[in-house]
Structure 1
Amino acid sequence: MRKMISDFFKDHPTIEVIDTARNGKDAIEKIQQLKPDVVTMDVEMPELNGLETLKCIMDISPVPVVMLSSFTENGAKQTMLAMEYGAVDFVTKPGGTISLDIHKVKDELIHKVELAAKVPIEKLRKHGSSIKYSYIKNMPRGTSAGISEKQTVTESNRSIHPVQTKWSKTSEKIVLIGTSTGGPRALQQVITKLPKAFPAPILIVQHMPPGFTKSLAERLNHISYVQVKEAEQGEKVEAGTAYIAPGGFHLKMKKVGSHYEIVLDDKEPPRAGHRPSVDVLFENISQFEELDKIAVIMTGMGNDGSKGLMTLKRTGNVIAIAESAETCIVFGMPKAAIETQFVDEVVNVDEIAETMLKYLS
């Protein structure tokens, strides 16, 4: 496996594999000695597994890490923890633990290593804040869920587009969230700060392959006040619940009588390589003009969500929130959204929940 992955970069014009490691302990020693720009690492390793190794790396010598994970239930859970502990992204091994057909993900791995090399080290150092939420469900229900300290307001924390005068706090609302690279940690910082009686449903698109979105939902549900679940076909959309689009399905909604139901679509092609797609979600929800929408675009590469945001803004009352460059792992999707000039507020990730509640409570 180490030889095959090293060979992926043999002819790469800007990336050189400077060494390989037999296990986690070997990796930690070599990372401190060689100071690589990026590390690729398996979740499953001898002596010291990927998670323990990752925690040590982030404590001792932080560096962007791209994980390789087995396509199993346990592999998905371990990968979600790796994202929480500071890994930038992950690639799914197509053939299990010893993946002899690893060549199938060559292009994806190279692309994610290229992306990881651009992530500033200081953003990786913030991984420890996520651990603060491990006890949140045991707190009294009246206790505030805003555990982490508010960051200093920067120049980007500003209103950049006038809020519509028609916005009413009493009308029926829905919250839409789109994110990609760096999304699992960003979602944790947002969702865990929402109160149990959150007054609107939340529909979430996180770019992620099938099998991993369920583990993400279960992890977030375990540490949040609101219910978080992987969306299911035909279920009623209810306030106080966050629905995460399953990997491989576009997330949509339809009105049935006086309520709304989840629609999962695997027939419509991927949009710009993504299924689920943020653009598809936003465009679908734009048809429900009776609902006021809060659209949130967070860390991620590319421009998914920007076209859908324009459609939303042109068809109803919408508050658009983008994550700031200061806290994004990758400032691609929020930047594209801001460039549409339809974003109302740009805030750091730890202020997104507070900003949403400002328009709901």
Structure 2
Amino acid sequence: MTRLLIVDDSPLMRRLLGGIFTAEGDFEIAFARNGIEALEQLTAFKPDVITLDVNMPEMDGLTCLDRIMLERPCPVVMVSSLTEAGASTTLEAFELGAVDFITKPDRAISLEIDTLAPKIVGTVRAASRARLPSSLRLAERVRLRSGLEYRPHSALPRLPATEALPRRQIKFAPAHGVVLIGASTGGPPALDTVLSQLPARFPWPVVVAQHMPSSFTGPLARRLDKLCALTVIEVAHPMPLAPGYIYIGRGDADVIIGNRPNGPLVLAAPSLPEHRWHPSVDRLVDSAMQHFAAERLLGVLMTGMGSDGAEAMTRLKGEGGRTIAEAEESAVVWGMPGELVRRGGAQVIAPLERIADQIMGMVGRS
């Protein structure tokens, strides 16, 4: 049995979520009405996974998450609204250690919950199997257990950008290749780690397909732009594909590479039903292979459940392109990169903290 703690101040939401997981038959469920009760359940119930609402009285979701990750780390799925404010809060939750999120219906919850139930269950099941890095906020945990001063999440230092040169002073030659990155569950903090290490003079553009709703990818791009030496933008309309930029595919659509007489471009395309997840990593890689020689492409597949990207990146490697799969030891969910490895499509398997070095080494030899 999987021990699930549902934390929500809404009696209706607790009842609906409880009903979904009770019907599954393999969940033992406990409830908490706010963050204070949730922290009490950490030791009393010892959950394997937690769903955590953001807006609650007495102790909000972010403050509670902060304490969970310091006192008894376990996989947490945030319950978020599909608003820009909800997206920004969820991204902050990822920084604190949350594994994934589910979205609240924007209409009558009781009318939509049956439709959303399979995705909710799938997300929580995947999260329950997620591995949290043993180093996650280790220094803070040591300080807390040693009785030293505790700093709440709002006081934590932000990750500085790498080689943050004034962007207007940097001049680039035309793009000779493209880095293609795919990620899903656990992806935002993984992107933080990898993209923040790329230097301002990195010679290839980077295109990212991160499975997310459209209301989340804009805030994700803006957040990454503050961390990275390269300029990070969301692909909401066709734009030139140029070095010096990291392009984040818009959610609920696909991000693809095309071509015009004056050069390659990146654009958002309506999602296709044959691809389950969006932005689709497979479709991104396939589109890039139509306009660039395989040896001018580098595919990177990071944490996420499912297999999106594995098929196309295996073909890319077979045609002479280069590929990197995140190692199982660092992936929150080793689904997508694991499938790439199983298919023989990974040229390099690297832990998260070494992926940026691998990218720079491969592009530097081009």
TM-score by length of 2: 0.84
Deviation at 1:10, TM superposition (A): 1.8
Q: Among all aligned residue pairs of Structure 1 and Structure 2, give the percentage whose two residues are the same amino acid.
A: 33
Distance 1:212 1:9 in 2: 26
The code of the aligned residue for 2:286 comes to: E
Question: What is the aligned partner in structure 2 of residue 9 from structure 1?
Answer: 21
> Greater helix percent: which structure?
2
Structure 1 contact 119–330 (Cα < 8 Å) conserved: yes
Q: Is 1:31 the equivalent of 2:42?
A: yes
How does 1:1-361 map onto structure 2 within 5 Å? 1-17=13-29, 19-95=30-106, 99-101=109-111, 103=113, 104-120=115-131, 122-123=132-133, 126=136, 134-137=158-161, 141=165, 172-266=176-270, 268-271=272-275, 273-290=276-293, 292-315=296-319, 317-361=320-364
Tell me: CA distance 1:247–1:137, structure 2 relative to 1, closer, same or farther (3 Å): same
Structure 2 contact 255–279 (Cα < 8 Å) conserved: yes
Structure 1 contact 95–102 (Cα < 8 Å) conserved: no
Structure 2 contact 252–271 (Cα < 8 Å) conserved: no
Instruction: Spell out structure 1 runs of 4+ moving beyond 6 A.
Output: 128-133
Deviation readout 1:286-327 (Å, 9 max, x if unpaired): 112446011100011111111111332344x41110100000
Deviation at 1:191, TM superposition (A): 0.5
The code of the aligned residue for 2:189 comes to: R
Distance 1:135 1:14 in 2: 40
Tell me: CA distance 1:328–1:140, structure 2 relative to 1, closer, same or farther (3 Å): closer
Point out the more displaced range, 305-314 or 187-196.
305-314
The code of the aligned residue for 1:75 comes to: G
Tell me: CA distance 1:140–1:93, structure 2 relative to 1, closer, same or farther (3 Å): closer
Local SS of the residue matching 1:136: coil
Local SS of the residue matching 1:16: strand
Deviation readout 1:197-252 (Å, 9 max, x if unpaired): 11110011011122111111111111111111111322111112111111111111
The code of the aligned residue for 1:344 comes to: Q
The code of the aligned residue for 1:83 comes to: F
TM-score by length of 1: 0.85
Tell me: CA distance 1:139–1:288, structure 2 relative to 1, closer, same or farther (3 Å): closer
Tell me: CA distance 1:174–1:128, structure 2 relative to 1, closer, same or farther (3 Å): farther
The code of the aligned residue for 1:183 comes to: G
Structure 1 contact 94–101 (Cα < 8 Å) conserved: no
CA RMSD of aligned residues (A): 2.4
The code of the aligned residue for 1:134 comes to: R
Deviation at 1:6, TM superposition (A): 1.0
Structure 2 contact 161–196 (Cα < 8 Å) conserved: no
* Unaligned ranges ≥5, structure 1: 143-169
Structure 2 contact 316–322 (Cα < 8 Å) conserved: no
Distance 1:218 1:354 in 2: 24
Structure 2 contact 238–265 (Cα < 8 Å) conserved: yes
Distance 1:109 1:300 in 2: 16
Structure 1 contact 62–125 (Cα < 8 Å) conserved: no
Local SS of the residue matching 2:359: helix
Structure 2 contact 164–200 (Cα < 8 Å) conserved: no
Deviation at 1:342, TM superposition (A): 2.6
Local SS of the residue matching 2:311: helix
Distance 2:136 2:128 in 1: 17
Tell me: CA distance 1:135–1:82, structure 2 relative to 1, closer, same or farther (3 Å): closer
Local SS of the residue matching 1:360: helix
Tell me: CA distance 1:37–1:135, structure 2 relative to 1, closer, same or farther (3 Å): closer
Distance 2:161 2:307 in 1: 35
Tell me: CA distance 1:127–1:283, structure 2 relative to 1, closer, same or farther (3 Å): farther
Deviation readout 1:253-283 (Å, 9 max, x if unpaired): 1111242112221153251x11211111111
Deviation at 1:43, TM superposition (A): 1.3
Tell me: CA distance 1:248–1:129, structure 2 relative to 1, closer, same or farther (3 Å): farther
Tell me: CA distance 1:65–1:171, structure 2 relative to 1, closer, same or farther (3 Å): closer
Deviation at 1:332, TM superposition (A): 0.9
Distance 1:80 1:334 in 2: 22
Structure 2 contact 180–207 (Cα < 8 Å) conserved: yes
